[in-house]
């Protein structure tokens, strides 16, 4: 399991899942789909804590994106499903079920 010292301990599991799904980081095309998935289960700051590292964005920018999510058109359904498949392959669904989220 790959740890990141910049990520709080309680977010290490989701960080590991995201890093598995996106080993080279989260690009702009995938960013909004990941945000839409995480937005359903995580707070704005927790999303910002983990996504800012993998998407190479400022934490405040990710927080603003998360807090304003839904005011713009949602990401394409096919893109969200493709990203969700990557996450599930790396254990996302199990993590959600294990944590009763």
Confidence of residue 2 (pLDDT cuts 50, 70, 90): low
Is the predicted pLDDT of residue 7 greater than 90, yes or no?
Answer: no
4: left (phi over 0), alpha (psi -120 to 50) or beta: beta
pLDDT band at 101 (very low <50, low <70, confident <90, very high): low
Task: Write down the H helix ranges in 1-101.
Answer: 12-21, 28-38, 44-54, 59-67, 77-89, 92-98
What architecture is the 11-98 domain classified under in CATH? Orthogonal Bundle (1.10)
Q: Where are the domains of the chain?
A: 11-98
Question: Residue 96 — pLDDT band, cuts 50, 70, 90?
Answer: very high
pTM above 0.95, yes or no: no
> What is the rounded average pLDDT of the residues 18-38?
95
pLDDT of residue 74: 80
């Amino acid at each position: 399991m790959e740890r990141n010292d910049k990520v709080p301990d309680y977010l290490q599991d989701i960080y590991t899942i995201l890093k598995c799904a996106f080993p080279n980081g989260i690009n702009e095309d995938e960013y909004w789909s990941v945000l839409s998935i995480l937005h359903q289960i995580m707070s704005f700051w927790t999303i910002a804590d983990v996504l800012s590292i993998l998407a190479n964005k400022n934490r405040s920018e990710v927080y603003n994106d998360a807090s304003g999510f839904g005011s713009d058109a949602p990401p394409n359904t096919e893109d969200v499903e493709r990203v969700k498949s990557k996450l599930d392959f790396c254990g996302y669904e199990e993590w959600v079920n294990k944590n009763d989220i």
